[in-house]
Amino acid sequence: MSETLFEQIIAREIPADIVYETDTTLAFRDINPRASTHVLVVPKTRYRNVAELAEADAGLLADVLNTAAKVAELEGVADKGYRVVFNTGEDAGQTVFHVHAHVLGGGPLGPEARG
């Protein structure tokens, strides 16, 4: 079995509502959405957080951000605005230690739409 929940989703060992995929990234809906659009974007290679990803592979971080922008387009929120959030560490509320971008949008975003 894969190590983290998101590796299990990438490996199709557990189901997810996948909205977009590239060679290096996967985007799927958050199971507990905090905005009408709430999609998670993960790199297929595991890093614990965005700092580790940025240091190890800036190109892969760019892939994650480009996938986030593509998801915003597909979800119809790119023009009116959306939020991209990387919770990093316990105090930020990170619960899954496989780096992921929260893409939040679909109406004015309040403080609850923090990913």
- Confirm if 38 and 46 have CB atoms less than 8 A apart: no
Q: Which of 23, 32, 110, 111 binds ligand AMP (CB under 6 A)?
A: 32
**From 38, 98, 100, 102, active-site residue:** 100
Residue from 2, 5, 52, 109 in contact with ligand AMP (CB under 6 A): 5
Cross-strand bridge partners of residue 12: none
Burial of 38 (0-12, 13-18, 19+ CB in 10 A): buried
Nearer to ligand AMP, 32 or 79 (CB): 32
Instruction: Name residues whose C-beta falls within 8 Å of residue 95's C-beta, 6 or more positions apart in sequence.
Output: none
7 binds ligand AMP (CB under 6 A): no
- The answer to whether residue 100 is catalytic is yes
Phi-psi region of 31 (alpha: psi -120 to 50; beta: other; left: phi over 0): alpha
> Reduced to 3 states, what is the DSSP secondary structure of residue 82?
strand
Q: Is 43 in the site for ligand AMP (CB under 6 A)?
A: no
Please pick, from the candidates 7, 10, 16, 47, the single residue that binds ligand AMP as defined by CB under 6 A.
16
Binding residues among 72-111 for ligand AMP as defined by CB under 6 A: 87, 93-96
Footprint on this chain of ligand AMP (rule: CB under 6 A): 5, 16, 28, 30-32, 40, 87, 93-96, 115
Q: Which residues are catalytic?
A: 100
